[in-house]
């Protein structure tokens, strides 16, 4: 059976690996460049084609994958001038961005009136996993809609978890990132306190690694702390702040208190406001240490 044509918007650190895997699995791929043309040109060299706008992509594609920063960017790509919806074609959009669930559900309702299906499918793990095709994907949508795109998701996913109706994928992603950004804030503060007491990062690691508090996130975080590997966890502090801000909005809409979430958000807000937003998340440990007078 002939495979559907897939469009891809957002060829950043995660997106370029995902798109390469879709192409490698035999799907006709249409990409679009943003500021950096290098990932697109690498895909074109392997057989992909280029669209100059989201509208052109929608005319040519059956399914479009979005891997952009967040809700404002998603809405702009879909509903902006020359956006996907302006093509007036029924198709499926898979939103792999980390977005505000309330925006996702409202957008899905508007698109449904135009015959466009929106599935939220945010991601877990790292750019290395995107390239390896081993991402975790949390998918929100109807059973039939998710089944209809499952083969495409499997191109870049090691695990696909159907979380429920549209919007629940983005909700679960916020909770997942709350845990991971919470770990980052905890590790950073604990390392600073240990250093104040004369404990080195190596000593800290010798106690935690292999014990009950060890985990995959800890290990990538500490590849920066101990080895200064800048590629250990390529997720910007500004994106962590953005996600924690979405979590605050979600808690406010639900009418609940989230004091721990507020503390985590403030840790990231301080780093962003100090000009460290482009640093990667494990580098929060350096900022917290420096802010307290230690290395």
Are 22 and 135 members of one domain? yes
Q: What is the pLDDT of residue 129?
A: 94
Q: What is the pLDDT of residue 295?
A: 79
pLDDT at residue 211 greater than cutoff 90: yes
Share of the chain above pLDDT 70, in %: 100
| Residue 74, in any domain of the structure | yes
Write down which residue in 134, 150, 165 finishes a domain: 165
CATH number at residue 22: 3.40.50.720
Average pLDDT for residues 234-254, to the nearest whole number? 93
* Structure confidence at residue 145 as a pLDDT band (50, 70, 90): very high
Are 27 and 148 members of one domain? yes
| Residue 119, in any domain of the structure | yes
pLDDT at residue 1 greater than cutoff 70: no
Are 98 and 119 members of one domain? yes
Q: Is 25 annotated in the active site? A: no
Write down which residue in 165, 199, 231 finishes a domain: 165
Average pLDDT for residues 54-60, to the nearest whole number? 97
Q: What is the pLDDT of residue 182?
A: 98
CA distances from 258 to 182, 239, 242, 254, 261 (A): 12, 19, 16, 10, 5
Tell me what the pLDDT averaged over the chain comes to.
95
| Residue 99, in any domain of the structure | yes
Q: What CA–CA distance (Å, rounded) separates 67 from 16?
A: 9
Are 149 and 197 members of one domain? no
Q: What is the pLDDT of residue 210?
A: 96
Range of the domain at 109: 6-165
Are 198 and 151 members of one domain? no
| Residue 259, in any domain of the structure | yes
Are 194 and 247 members of one domain? yes
Q: What is the pLDDT of residue 36?
A: 86
pLDDT at residue 6 greater than cutoff 70: yes
Average pLDDT for residues 254-277, to the nearest whole number? 97
Q: Which residue in the list 3, 173, 234, 242 is annotated as catalytic?
A: 173
Q: What is the pLDDT of residue 92?
A: 98
Average pLDDT for residues 134-149, to the nearest whole number? 97
Write down which residue in 165, 194, 226 finishes a domain: 165
CATH number at residue 267: 1.10.1040.10
For residue range 82-131, list pLDDT tens digits in order.
999 999 999 999 999 999 998 999 999 999 999 999 999 999 988 899 99
Are 14 and 106 members of one domain? yes
Are 111 and 252 members of one domain? no
Q: What is the pLDDT of residue 107?
A: 97
| Residue 40, in any domain of the structure | yes
Are 201 and 161 members of one domain? no
| Residue 196, in any domain of the structure | yes
For residue range 172-207, list pLDDT tens digits in order.
999 999 999 999 999 999 999 999 999 999 999 999
Number of domains in the chain: 2
Q: What is the pLDDT of residue 35?
A: 81
| Residue 92, in any domain of the structure | yes
Are 28 and 130 members of one domain? yes
| Residue 1, in any domain of the structure | no
* Structure confidence at residue 34 as a pLDDT band (50, 70, 90): confident
Are 56 and 147 members of one domain? yes
Are 175 and 115 members of one domain? no
Average pLDDT for residues 244-252, to the nearest whole number? 92
């Amino acid at each position: 059976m002939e495979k559907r044509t897939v469009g891809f918007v957002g060829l950043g650190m995660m997106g370029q690996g995902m798109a390469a895997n879709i192409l490698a699995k035999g799907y006709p791929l249409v990409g679009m460049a943003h500021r950096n043309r290098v990932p697109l040109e690498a895909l074109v060299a392997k057989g992909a084609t280029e669209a100059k706008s989201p509208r052109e992509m929608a005319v040519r594609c059956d399914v479009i994958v979005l891997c952009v920063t967040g809700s404002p960017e998603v809405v702009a790509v879909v509903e902006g001038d020359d956006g996907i919806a302006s093509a007036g074609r029924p198709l499926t959009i898979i939103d792999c961005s980390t977005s505000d669930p309330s925006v996702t559900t409202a957008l899905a309702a508007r698109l449904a009136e135009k015959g466009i299906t929106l599935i939220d499918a945010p991601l877990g793990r790292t750019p290395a996993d995107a390239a390896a095709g081993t991402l975790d994907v949390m998918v929100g949508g109807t059973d039939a809609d998710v089944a209809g795109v499952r083969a495409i998701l499997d191109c870049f996913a090691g695990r696909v978890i159907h979380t429920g109706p549209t919007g629940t994928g983005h909700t679960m992603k916020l909770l997942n990132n709350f845990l991971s950004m919470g770990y980052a804030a905890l590790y950073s503060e604990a390392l600073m306190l240990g250093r104040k007491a004369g404990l080195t990062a190596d000593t800290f690691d010798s106690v935690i690694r292999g014990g009950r508090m060890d985990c995959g996130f800890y290990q990538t975080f500490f590849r920066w702390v101990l080895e200064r590997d800048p590629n250990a966890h390529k997720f910007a502090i500004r994106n962590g702040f953005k996600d924690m801000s979405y979590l605050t909005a979600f808690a406010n809409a639900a009418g609940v208190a989230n004091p721990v979430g507020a503390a985590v958000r403030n840790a990231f807000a301080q780093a962003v406001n100090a000009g460290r937003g482009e640093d990667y998340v494990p580098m929060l440990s350096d900022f917290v240490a420096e802010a307290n007078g230690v290395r």
